[in-house]
Amino acid sequence: MKIGELAKIAHCTTETIRFYEKEGLLPAADRTEANYRRYAARHVERLCFIRNCRALDMTHDQIRTLLCLSDTADGGGDAIHALVDTHIAHVDARIGELEQLKAQLTTLREQGQAAQVVEDGGTACELAEMEVSAPHSRHTRLG
């Protein structure tokens, strides 16, 4: 199948497929005589695996590790479980960060409403004057 067909089956763009090939997550496709990429069922399976991992917020390095482990003779069971456990810990840490962020925003909103009753400015003034906690190392996968 051609790249457009693979993209349609996997519900992604051709750019995504090319990117995953460039990153080494998706094996390079064979080429036709006209130099078109020619994909097989193994590409569909691997691309769905990658996309499912990304939906779980896994990094490319984690996905690369999972692919290597799953390609081994024993399937890498214990190592895969360890990687997933590490990712669960990351998610737990992120949830804690988001709960702290929500608490800060809720406090800001409440202080802003109270300030607006007393004088003009409200939340905007509170943003300028609020004390923020020291930044901690972020566990986000972005940036």
Question: Using one digit for the tens of pLDDT, what is the confidence trace for 47-84?
Answer: 999 999 999 999 999 999 999 998 877 767 889 999 99
pLDDT tens-digit readout, 23-38: 999 998 999 899 888 9
| pLDDT value at residue 111 | 77
The answer on pLDDT for 117 being more than 60 is no
Euclidean distance between the first and the last CA atom of the chain, given in angstroms as a whole number: 35
User: What's the confidence (pLDDT) of residue 142?
Assistant: 44
pTM, rounded to two decimals:
0.71
pLDDT value at position 127?
A: 64
Q: Which amino acid is at 30?
A: D
- Please return the burial class of 116, using the count of CB atoms within 10 Å of its CB with bins 0-12, 13-18 and 19+: middle
